[in-house]
Amino acid sequence: MNGLDVFHHEGALRPSAEVSQSASRPDLRLRRSNLLPLCSLPQEPSTKRVRPLGRVTSLANLISPVKTLAVRRFGQTIQASFRSDGKSPGVPQKPCIKAAAPTPPKRRNSTLWSETLDVHQKGTFSTKEIKRQEAIFELSRGEQDLIEDLQLARKAYHDPMLKLSIMSEEELTHIFGNLDTYIPLHEDLLAQLSKATGPDGTVGQIGQIVVSWLPRLKAYKDYCSNQLAAKALLDQKKQDRRVQDFLQRCLESPFSRKLDLWSFLDIPRSRLVKYPLLLKEILRHTPAEHPDAARLEEAIAVIQGVLSDINMKKGESECQFYIDKLEYLDERQRDPHIELCRSLLCHGELRNKSGTKLHVFLFTELLVLTRPVTRNERQCYQVYRQPIPVQDLVLEDLQDGDVRMGGSFRGAFGNADKAKNIFRVRPQDPSQGQAHTLQVNDVFHKQQWLNCLRTAKTENPPPTKLESSCLIRRLIGRRKSYFETFLKRQNPDAMFVVLTYRGINVTPEVEVGGDGTSQIQLTSDMR
């Protein structure tokens, strides 16, 4: 800052040119409280004329008083500079410490197989063989990475949280599953691949190894089927500040590679779906006459079967997870079909004609509309209206503009002239429930819903008499208490009530015991 700027900002003084001409005028009054102490000034030689105290102008007094803190710091800097220049003793200056840059995240080794060879070795292999070995090397390298990630999840997350009592052992078991049991599984494949590697770094045959090893991946059935519940529990525990702080510190540490805990826990699942792709890539670069060709095709069929079994178990678990979260305001909403559902085809957030957000579940047997609610910090889904059995469902694909603004649609579609991306579902029998006009976010998601609904109807045709009889018996076996409650509510004083379900009569046979209590035995008229 130059002299002109300093004096210009001090409202009590004139520009510096005038001040220099009239420095000795008596009307120029300086506040002594703002003067620099004499000890802070450098000692001048004895031959130099020293100005009187009243004429020594403090730099601190010449700075604009708007920001007192900034002025004080500026004055302290100037004083420190004076001491340094004069080599006078004083408080040593604090060294300027540059903030340490954040530690970069740890990176994975991305070396290619061909990069491990020298120029002479590389020239001895054909291009096709190099690509085949690259694919095998990628399989091997991926196993090593997976082992490291599973070990990291245990040592960096599970064990510290258990030791620090951030989570209970039961909660950690629910979230992490049996990670320790999967590490030896992948170590075994890695050891077999290493044993099959020749002195030149190539793997001659891999087909038999993977055919024998892949069925062992069925061990992931329980782990994958538990993932939805594990993720829900982890998200719930993240509300705890201790858990949140611990996970954030881990995320900022280099070992995490900027991945959160769930990314590590989800790595086994993502690895499973890569096996068919890796094997197909190896097969693509394997000559047809090679002994591995037939074995690799067999291995691909094996892994696809394993994944199909895992997906089926995972689907059943996901289905039951959401069924358990359904909340009924009226027991009449508890459709018996819900007990037969074994798969959840799709689910997501839609809006009805009044603009209400609904979470809709399409199970294999039933379409259920719900409203998300929270009960004791637990997410639940309150059943909205009466569920519609898929076999009785009527689907209408509505075109844009078929439903316009007005009346109850005002809140649903805003200021638009017409509603877009809508469809309607209703039961065949209007007495069994009402119709629902539903709106989706975009054309893509609308088409997904239409496809899922049509597929569900195709795969669940109306049952025959025999199928209905079997269905009734299954329902009686699984939901006897429900039928008893339902029948008592319908006619508590009647001794015999016939419930018609899908055209089949379910008759309760009431037996009165010697103690006056009654027992209800449910039977159907189909033998």
Spans of the chain, pLDDT less than 50:
1-91, 96, 98-101, 405-413, 415, 465-466, 481-482, 484-505, 508-527
Give the three-class secondary structure for 110. Answer: coil
Reported as a single tens digit per residue, the pLDDT across 43-99 is 444 444 444 444 444 434 433 444 434 333 333 433 443 344 444 444 455 554 544
Could you tell me if 327 and 375 are in contact, meaning their C-beta atoms sit under 8 angstroms apart? yes
The Cα–Cα gap between 364 and 345 comes to 6
Which residue(s) pair with 512 in the sheet? 518
Which residue(s) pair with 327 in the sheet? 382
The residue among 350, 436, 341 whose CA lies nearest residue 391 is: 341
Element (H, E) at 480: helix 480-490
The Cα–Cα gap between 210 and 467 comes to 42
| Predicted pLDDT of residue 376 | 81
The Cα–Cα gap between 265 and 261 comes to 6
pTM: 0.64
Which residue(s) pair with 437 in the sheet? 424
| Predicted pLDDT of residue 114 | 66
Domains parsed from the chain with CATH numbers: 3-86 (no CATH), 113-319 (1.20.900.10), 325-459 (2.30.29.30), 465-524 (no CATH)
Could you tell me if 180 and 226 are in contact, meaning their C-beta atoms sit under 8 angstroms apart? no
Residue 239 gets the label, from left (phi > 0), alpha (psi -120 to 50) or beta, of alpha
The Cα–Cα gap between 287 and 456 comes to 43
| Predicted pLDDT of residue 23 | 42
| Predicted pLDDT of residue 179 | 86
Could you tell me if 213 and 188 are in contact, meaning their C-beta atoms sit under 8 angstroms apart? yes
| DSSP code for 154 | I
Contacts with 291 (C-beta within 8 Å, 6 or more apart), sequence order = 205, 207
| Predicted pLDDT of residue 400 | 84
Q: What is the DSSP string of 70-89?
A: HHHHHHHHHHHHHHHHHT--
| 261 phi, psi to nearest 5 deg | -60, -45
The Cα–Cα gap between 508 and 387 comes to 25
The Cα–Cα gap between 231 and 237 comes to 10
User: How many of the other CB atoms lie within 10 Å of CB of 139?
Assistant: 20
The Cα–Cα gap between 172 and 204 comes to 42
Which residue(s) pair with 427 in the sheet? 393
Could you tell me if 454 and 368 are in contact, meaning their C-beta atoms sit under 8 angstroms apart? no
In the chain, the largest separation of any two C-alpha atoms, in whole Å, equals 129
| 27 phi, psi to nearest 5 deg | -80, -5
| Predicted pLDDT of residue 331 | 85
Could you tell me if 438 and 423 are in contact, meaning their C-beta atoms sit under 8 angstroms apart? yes
Query: Within 13 A of 465's CA, how many CA atoms are on the CB side?
Result: 4
The residue among 344, 346, 368, 345 whose CA lies nearest residue 358 is: 368
The Cα–Cα gap between 400 and 186 comes to 53
| 373 phi, psi to nearest 5 deg | -140, 165
